[in-house]
Amino acid sequence: MRLTAILSMAAKAAFPKDYRYGTSRPWTIAAKRLNPPGKKRRKVFIEPIAYEDWSVFKGDTVEILSGKDKGKQGKVAQVFRHRNWVILDGLNTHFRYIGKTADYRGTYIASEAPLLIRDISLVDPTDRKPTEVEWRFTEEGEKVRVSLRTGRIVPKPVFQRRDGIVPQQWKDGPKDTSPEDTLEKTYTPSLKTLEEEVMEKLGIEEPRRNRKTYWY
Amino acid sequence: MGFIAKMAATSAGPVLTLCRQFQNAFRISTSLAAQQSALTWTKSHSYPYRLKYPLVSPNWHCHVGLVGQCRPLHTTISRRGLEEFFDIPENWGEATVKSGAPWTAKQLRTKSNEDLHKLWYVLLKEKNMLLTIEQESKRQRIQMPSPERLKKIERSMKRLDTVVKEREDAIRLLQTGQERARPGAWRKDVFGRVYWYRFREHALPWYMNKRYKRKRFYTPLFVTPHMRLRLEKHLRAKTRIQNKEREKQTALQEKFPRMKAQSS
């Protein structure tokens, strides 16, 4: 048992308490270069936002309130909750060379810089102006974002799965169980354990009894 | 025993080459040559990714005419379901294989014990198949197609195990009132720490077990001053953590005055 615990500890990556998370994922080479194991960087204070209060999701349209591209609206491409960051598509960009070799100067591309949540504001879908948003419950009990200025509901953006599967258009493969079979209820509660029930069904009779053992 | 069968994948297809002793006597008919592939009289050698040939038909025998010291050769393939270790032939050579969502605990709770028993073995065989594919891809140094299938299977099996444990727990609680499946007791170790000691199954009673009698479940008298020191150290560390947390909160309040007062 202890061996599996050790293996699982090695499998999941462990980071120090004051690890500075960046835009690249921690297991990539770029992140490893920025945060080598012994390096201590100046602490970044992140405003703690509770999990239930988070209002910006991937695919939302938001407006920038301060910075280079102030007043522009864009779609959220990536959200980093550990640093309260948001990356918009094509906005707040700076330019850099990528794929530089010894003789080739590299491709000049525009790369987006992350924006803090505080400099971002959700956009009301009706009048397309930035608003403050609060979480409220509807009549049905659903939790929705409501803009405080107009009172309209800001709908949640359509969530696309990372593997590209759309559940409504899924076709079962040969090894998949059909939805009817999955939801079919075959369980009747009884005071028999699984072993006893299976032995009954298969007609196995076990007249032998275990030898007396001592538990201490 | 001078028989060695080698398989060479040429552009035309695999051709069985035998050792010189049998070469003249053995004639492979053209129709058989078209269907030939791995011999399974040793282990199963079918490689789903590089060689896309089916396993040998079970009716293929090669009877060799007697030439000199040649013995009659009879090779039948014993294929007792070894194909279940490999994927279905449609998926051979694919880069990604479609697979559905794993079983959830909620869905598994509606199934009877017999269904769960059968499902466990279905999942186990699928897992063995995927592990074979994984090992084979490592051996051939290519990417395994759709490795997320393994994770899905493992999660399904874990959830099935959880559901079965829940049912067992319920029956045991109803019939005996015991909360734990494995007996144990609170005991003190040599260092003065109280911990839950889990019992183990033995063939001998404890008073006849020499190794068990050497274990000390009491604290000697000379250890008691060290227990106090350990407690003091623990309290000091706890207070330090609490103070640090409080300082962090004040620093955050200064930096972010709009923040809500509570934060974990």
CA angle A152, A154, A156 (to 5 degrees): 155
Looking at residue B259, the DSSP 8-state letter turns out to be S
Which among A48, A185, A191 is the nearest to B259, CB-wise? A48
Tally of domains within chain B: 2
Same structural domain, B105 and B129: yes
Minimal CA separation from B142 to chain A, in Å = 21
Residue A45 to residue B255, Cβ atoms within 8 A: yes
CB-CB neighbors (< 8 A) of B88 in chain A: 174
Tell me the chain A residues in contact with residue B205 when contact means C-beta distances shorter than 8 Å. 214
| Token pair in block for residue B63 | 């009877």
Same domain, B151 and B194: no
Read off the pLDDT of residues A77-125 as tens digits, 9 standing for 90 and up.
999 998 999 999 999 999 988 887 888 888 899 999 999 999 999 998 8
**Would B234 be classed as within a structural domain?**
yes
d(CA A100, CA A29): 16
CB A177 within 8 A of CB B104: no
**Type and span of the H or E element at B188:** strand B184-188
- How far is Cα B144 from Cα B131, in angstroms, rounded to an integer? 10
pLDDT at residue B145 is higher than 70: yes
CA angle (B24 as vertex; B21, B26 as ends), nearest 5 = 90
- A175/B99 touch (CB, cutoff 8 Å), yes or no: yes
Residues of B with Cβ-Cβ distance to A172 under 8 angstroms: 100
- The residues on B that touch A, with CB distances below 8 Å, are 88, 98-100, 103, 107, 109-117, 126, 148, 164, 167-168, 171, 174-175, 183, 199-206, 212, 251-252, 255-256, 259-260, 263-264
B101 with B132, same domain: the answer is yes
> Would you say residue B94 lies in a domain?
yes
Least confident of A33-37, A136-140, B46-50, B251-255: B46-50
In chain B, which residue's Cα lies nearest the Cα of A179? Answer: B107
Q: What is the pLDDT of residues A9-51, one digit of tens each?
A: 766 777 787 888 889 888 899 898 888 888 888 888 888 888 8
- As a whole number, mean pLDDT of residues B243-253 equals 93
Rounded CA gap, B225 and B221, in Å?
Answer: 9
Task: Say yes or no for a CB contact (<8 Å) between A194 and B174.
Answer: no
- What are the tens digits of pLDDT across the range B201-213? 999 999 999 999 9
Nearest CA-CA partner of B86 in B167, B14, B17, B145:
B145
Same domain, B157 and B88: yes
Q: Do B136 and B200 belong to one domain?
A: no
Q: What mean pLDDT, rounded, does chain B reach?
A: 79
| B73 lies in some domain | no
Domain boundary among B160, B176, B192: B176
Select the residue from A170, A178, A210, A215 to test the B interface by mutation, using most B Cβ atoms within 10 A.
A215
Does residue B87 form part of some domain?
Answer: yes
**Do A187 and B111 count as a contact with CB atoms less than 8 A apart?**
yes
**Cβ-count burial B194-206 (b if 16+ within 10 Å, e if not):** eeebeeeeeeeee
- CB-neighbour burial class of residue A147 (10 A; exposed 0-12, middle 13-18, buried 19+): buried
Q: Are residues B115 and B161 in the same domain?
A: yes
Q: Where are the beta strands (DSSP E) in A7-117?
A: 61-64, 73-80, 85-88, 93-98, 107-112, 115-116
- Tell me the C-alpha to C-alpha distance, in Å, between residue B85 and each of B47, B130, B136, B143: 12, 8, 11, 18
Residue B161 and residue B93 in one domain: yes
pTM over 0.80: no
Contact state of B205 with A187 under an 8 Å Cβ cutoff: no
Is B227 inside any structural domain?
A: yes
- Domain boundary pick from B154, B176, B198: B176
Q: 3-class DSSP state for residue A40?
A: coil
B168 contacts on A by Cβ (under 8 Å): 193-194
Do B170 and B98 belong to one domain?
Answer: yes
Q: Give phi and psi for A207, each to the nearest 5.
A: -75, -15
Torsions phi, psi for B166 (to 5 deg) = -60, -45
- What would the pLDDT profile of A185-196 be if each residue is shown by its tens digit? 999 999 999 999
**Residue range A143-160: mean pLDDT, rounded:** 89
Residue B141, domain extent? 83-176
B138 lies in the same domain as B104: yes
Alpha helices (H) in B176-258, listed in sequence order? 210-214, 224-255
Whether residue A172 and residue B100 make contact (CB cut-off 8 A), yes or no, is yes
pLDDT at residue B41, rounded to an integer: 33
Which of B98, B103, B214, B244 to mutate: most A Cβ within 10 Å?
A: B98
Reported ipTM exceeds the 0.90 cut: no
How many of the other CB atoms lie within 10 Å of CB of A76?
A: 20
How sure is the predictor about B14, in pLDDT bands with cuts at 50, 70 and 90? Answer: very low
Residue B66 has pLDDT above 60, yes or no: no
Q: What is the DSSP letter of A130?
A: B
Q: What is the pLDDT confidence band of residue B48, given thresholds at 50, 70 and 90?
A: very low
Chain A residues with CB inside 8 Å of B260's CB? 50, 53
- Of all residues in chain A, the percent with pLDDT exceeding 90 is 50
Between A136 and B21, whose confidence is greater?
A136
| Interhelix angle A194-202/B113-140, nearest 10 degrees | 90
Put simply, the answer to whether A47 touches B203 (Cβ < 8 Å) is no
Q: Confirm whether B153 is domain-assigned.
A: yes
The closest of B83, B134, B126, B84 to B103, measured between CA atoms, is B126
The pLDDT of residue A1: 62
Residue B161 falls within a domain, yes or no? Answer: yes
| Same domain as B204, residue B132 | no
Say if residue B190 is in the same domain as residue B165.
no
- Give bridge partners of residue B179 from the DSSP assignment: none
Last residue of a domain, one of B135, B157, B176: B176
Residue B39 has pLDDT above 80, yes or no: no
The per-residue pLDDT for A41 is 84
Residue contact A213–B203, C-beta within 8 A? yes
Distance from C-alpha of B107 to C-alpha of A205, rounded to nearest angstrom? 31
Per-chain mean pLDDT for chain A:
89
State how far the Cα of B52 lies from the Cα of B93, in Å rounded to an integer: 8
B91 and B169 housed in the same domain = yes
Per cent of chain A over pLDDT 70 is 98
* B63 inside domain: no
